[in-house]
């Protein structure tokens, strides 16, 4: 085993380059997300959810605002609520598309980088052989830098995206993940770190795809079944990977092989606690779907788009326009 002084020397040179690469990825991903939101995800969301355009919203709003009768006052209030829901749905649809895209990319890179490594499952203990020695492989460097940059970007966007009920739990998750990635990278414990990253990433695209199709449900009823299929895939993969593979193959192996790394051990256990809490929320969603037929994220307070109410407001706006003429 290497000494603490020798390990600390890993913070310079190659490790500094890796952290610089991660920072570049983080900034680049922020810019890429802005580009994809404007050019791809937002138009796709408006078309998929059949949301009215900003121009149409403006036309209806002007027609409703021009009248002052009791019915119009009520419609103004309803229209304000719908506009708020529309804006929230557009934002959440873009969030889900971005995350699904990035998780799929990272899973692909991670699997291609790890599948032929000596420490691939179930030989996880091989990740600790010759610990701290030798250079980090180029494919693992890319995977680590992209992952760290992505979590930096997620942390920044937590203050921009829709705020959910598990805001602080998610904040804790991102901070712990960034800490574990950084420490394992600095001290060349990247082998076990890369396995932890992949185990955590696999379930997430299923969740984001389930959200995407669930947002489309009011406009496209067939998407409800598609959303359910992806949610079942998410629930099963989450249970297998985060409640079995992670504690048994990773947390247990770390406790046996490197018990001296107390800080990392604590962070791994904190992550497991978050997994149990989130699986409880997942079960609540599944319960609601089975008994009430509704598949909505229990962390979100926003309603779905009400096309009937929108049609009612449009009819009222048209009547007001005819009267004014």
Mean pLDDT of 300-307: 69
Mind listing the pLDDT tens digit for each residue in 55-66?
888 888 888 777
Q: Quick one: which of 154, 172, 124 has its CA closest to 270? A: 172
* CA gap 256, 248 in Å, rounded: 11
pLDDT band at 78 (very low <50, low <70, confident <90, very high): confident
Beta carbons of 220 and 48 less than 8 angstroms apart: yes
3-state helix, strand, coil in the chain (%, to 5): 80, 0, 20
- Name the CA dihedral angle for 13, 19, 25, 28, rounded to a multiple of 10 degrees: -90
Mean pLDDT of 294-298: 62
Residue 231 has pLDDT above 70, yes or no: yes
Domain count across the chain = 1
Q: Residue 72: what pLDDT?
A: 74
Residue 13 has pLDDT above 90, yes or no: no
Mean pLDDT of 103-113: 95
Beta carbons of 265 and 259 less than 8 angstroms apart: yes
| Top-confidence residue, 162 or 255 | 255
Q: Residue 81: what pLDDT?
A: 87
Q: Residue 176: what pLDDT?
A: 85
Mean pLDDT of the chain: 85
Residue 130 has pLDDT above 60, yes or no: yes
Rounded percentage of the chain residues whose pLDDT exceeds 70 = 89
Q: Residue 299: what pLDDT?
A: 53
State the pTM of this model: 0.85
Q: Which residues contact 202 (CB under 8 A, 6 or more apart)?
A: 107, 237, 241
Q: Residue 296: what pLDDT?
A: 67
Q: Residue 2: what pLDDT?
A: 44
| Top-confidence residue, 291 or 245 | 245
| Region of poorest pLDDT, from 195-204, 223-232, 308-317 | 308-317
Mind listing the pLDDT tens digit for each residue in 176-197?
888 888 888 888 888 999 999 9
Q: Residue 1: what pLDDT?
A: 44
Q: Residue 297: what pLDDT?
A: 61
pLDDT band at 169 (very low <50, low <70, confident <90, very high): confident
Residue 3 has pLDDT above 50, yes or no: no
Mean pLDDT of 292-298: 64
Residue 105 has pLDDT above 70, yes or no: yes
Q: Residue 8: what pLDDT?
A: 47
| Region of poorest pLDDT, from 17-21, 166-170, 230-234, 240-244 | 166-170
Domain span at 41 = 1-322
């Amino acid at each position: 085993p290497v000494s603490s002084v020798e390990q600390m020397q890993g913070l310079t040179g190659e490790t500094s380059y890796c952290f610089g690469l991660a920072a570049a990825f983080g900034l680049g991903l922020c810019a890429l997300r802005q580009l994809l939101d404007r050019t791809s995800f937002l138009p796709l969301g408006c078309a998929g959810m059949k949301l009215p355009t900003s121009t149409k919203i403006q036309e209806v709003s002007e027609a409703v605002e021009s009248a002052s009768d009791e019915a119009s006052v009520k419609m103004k209030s309803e229209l304000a609520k719908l506009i708020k829901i529309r804006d929230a749905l557009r934002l959440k649809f873009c969030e889900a598309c971005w995350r699904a895209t990035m998780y799929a990319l990272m899973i692909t890179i991670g699997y291609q980088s790890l599948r032929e490594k000596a420490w691939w499952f179930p030989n996880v203990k091989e990740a600790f052989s010759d610990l701290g020695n030798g250079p980090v492989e180029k494919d693992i460097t890319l995977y680590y830098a992209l992952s760290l940059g992505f979590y930096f970007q997620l942390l920044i966007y937590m203050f921009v995206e829709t705020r959910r009920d598990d805001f602080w739990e998610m904040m804790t998750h991102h901070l712990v993940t960034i800490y574990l990635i950084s420490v394992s990278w600095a001290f060349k414990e990247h082998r076990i770190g890369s396995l932890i990253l992949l185990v955590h990433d696999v379930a997430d695209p299923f969740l984001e795809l389930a959200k995407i199709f669930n947002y489309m449900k009011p406009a496209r009823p067939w998407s409800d079944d598609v959303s359910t299929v992806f949610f079942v895939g998410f629930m099963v993969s989450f249970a297998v990977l985060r409640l079995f593979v992670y504690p048994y193959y990773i947390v247990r192996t770390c406790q046996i092989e490197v018990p001296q790394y107390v800080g990392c051990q604590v962070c791994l256990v904190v992550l497991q606690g978050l997994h149990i809490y989130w699986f409880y929320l997942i079960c609540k969603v599944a319960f609601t779907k089975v008994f009430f037929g509704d598949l909505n994220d229990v962390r979100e307070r926003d309603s779905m788009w009400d096309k009937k109410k929108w049609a009612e407001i449009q009819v009222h706006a048209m009547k007001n326009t005819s009267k004014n003429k």
